[in-house]
Amino acid sequence: MSEKAKSKKRFSSLKLLKKSETQYPSSPKNAKLEVFENIYSSRDYEITFDCPEFTSLCPVTGQPDFGHITIKYIPDRYCVESKSLKIYLFSFREHNTFHEEAVNTILDAVVKACSPRHAEVKGEFRPRGGIAINVKAVYEKKGTKKDE
């Protein structure tokens, strides 16, 4: 099989990256994280996504909340495709959620999508009412070196 054919097959499941027009889901439940095969799955390396412009809505007041989301993970067989992650994070803009729930929801989505060896999501949210909230959620795959 040619290199071009191998590449085409490897990325055949990536639908969002191929689209020229982007449609933004109204909720994280309607968004999908896409993944691609990790060709370096025999080694541990860390991937970091930095989203300094995260927004969501307060579930009680409906007021906008602004935060900085950082996602770090050690991939196993799959890596998260960045455009799908951008669209997924954008889906929180009209979504009512507490900061703690947003961070844990994002971590759950990353784990479900790519089953990493290790993952952590940090949310640093801007003060509202004089209080800033920082949340960190961590996932450790059972049977990995860090878990043993």
Mean pLDDT of 111-130: 96
Look at residue 6 and tell me if it is in a domain. Answer: no
Active-site pick, 44, 51, 58, 76: 58
* Number of compact structural domains in the chain: 1
- Residue 9, exposed/middle/buried by CB under 10 A (0-12, 13-18, 19+)? exposed
- More confident: 84 or 129: 84
Q: pTM to 2 decimals?
A: 0.84
Q: Indicate the residue type of 12.
A: S
Tell me the CATH number at 113: 3.30.1130.10
DSSP code at position 29: G
Mean pLDDT of 76-102: 97
- 95 Cα distance to chain centroid: 16
147 has pLDDT over 60: no
Active-site pick, 65, 79, 114, 147: 65
Residue 89: pLDDT band (50, 70, 90) is very high
Look at residue 7 and tell me if it is in a domain. Answer: no
Residue 128: pLDDT band (50, 70, 90) is confident
Name the residue among 114, 139, 121 with its Cα closest to residue 51: 121
Note the pLDDT of residue 10: 66
Q: Indicate the residue type of 58.
A: C
Look at residue 14 and tell me if it is in a domain. Answer: no
**Structural domain boundaries enclosing 39:** 34-140
> Is position 58 annotated as part of the catalytic site?
yes
> Is position 65 annotated as part of the catalytic site?
yes
Q: Is the dihedral of CA 108, 106, 74, 34 positive or negative?
A: positive
